[in-house]
Amino acid sequence: MKNTKRRFVPGGLHLGREIIRLLLKDIRVELREPNTLLIVASFALSTTIATAIASGGVQIGNFERSLIYWLTTFFSAMMSMSHSFTREEERGTAFFLHLIASSYAVFLSKLIFNTIFFIIIQGIITAAFLFFIEGLVASWKYFLLIAFSGGIALATSSTILSAIAAKSSTRNALFPVIALPILLPILIAAIHATAESFENYKMLFPREIIFFLAFSLALFSISILIFPYIWNSE
């Protein structure tokens, strides 16, 4: 075997390369067996269609529409995000990740993957919602901004919660239990802000967007600090 000369690689570059390799791996695995994506897309479609049929052509109030939108989003997050770490533990591939990458690379790659994945899911939910549920959107700009920033907050929180739940023997039951109290403030704020974007043509910049981004940043900082301990716990 040929021995190659070792080159100095800065730590940040090393981390960046690890993240890219893991991210590519996750994308390939998801594309080969897109079960999660299909299940969540089916859930989003069936929920919105069922709501549209149940309302029988009667226009639903703005608050109720917002409630339906965010509950669909919330349960889609519960179904899809919980898999990010629990699947690695259940398949026994977490050990593989331990061997090939640092804990920071594992967490950041999962966070990036979850965020991209959830933006796609939310795109599907939003399209289905707007198509099937009758009603106006007064402020498109803020509706989309609230949906996007709220989605990022859900993805960030779900990633670290999934890592915590994955270490438990009752991981599938534990995830929704620990997720609900943490995601509830996001959910409540998102429902109110979205309802306003549906009805208010002269809506001012909603403070909820700042809240979602600050929440994501705070949770990201805490996650970076605690994840190595969670990941390396036996």
In the bound complex, what is the minimum distance in angstroms from residue 182's beta carbon to another protein?
A: 28
Q: Looking at 54, 201, 229, 234, which residue binds another protein (CB under 8 A)?
A: 234
Separation between Cα atoms, residue 151 and residue 70, nearest integer Å: 10
Alpha helices (H) in the chain, listed in sequence order: 11-32, 35-55, 62-81, 83-91, 94-100, 103-132, 140-166, 171-199, 207-232
* 22 part of the interface to another protein, by CB under 8 A: yes
Query: Is the CB of 101 or the CB of 152 nearer to another protein?
Result: 101
Residues 74-133 interacting with another protein (rule: CB under 8 A): 91-93, 95-96, 98-100, 102
Cβ distance 163 to 227 under 8 Å? yes
Kindly state whether residue 3 participates in binding another protein, applying the rule CB under 8 A: yes
Distance of alpha carbon 154 from alpha carbon 182, whole angstroms: 10
Number of residues binding to another protein, judged by CB under 8 A:
25
Residue 12 as a binder of another protein (CB under 8 A): the answer is no
> Rounded to an integer, what distance in angstroms lies between the CA atom of residue 186 and that of residue 212?
7
Report the interface residues with another protein, using CB under 8 A. Answer: 1-4, 14, 17, 21-22, 24-25, 28-29, 32-33, 91-93, 95-96, 98-100, 102, 232, 234
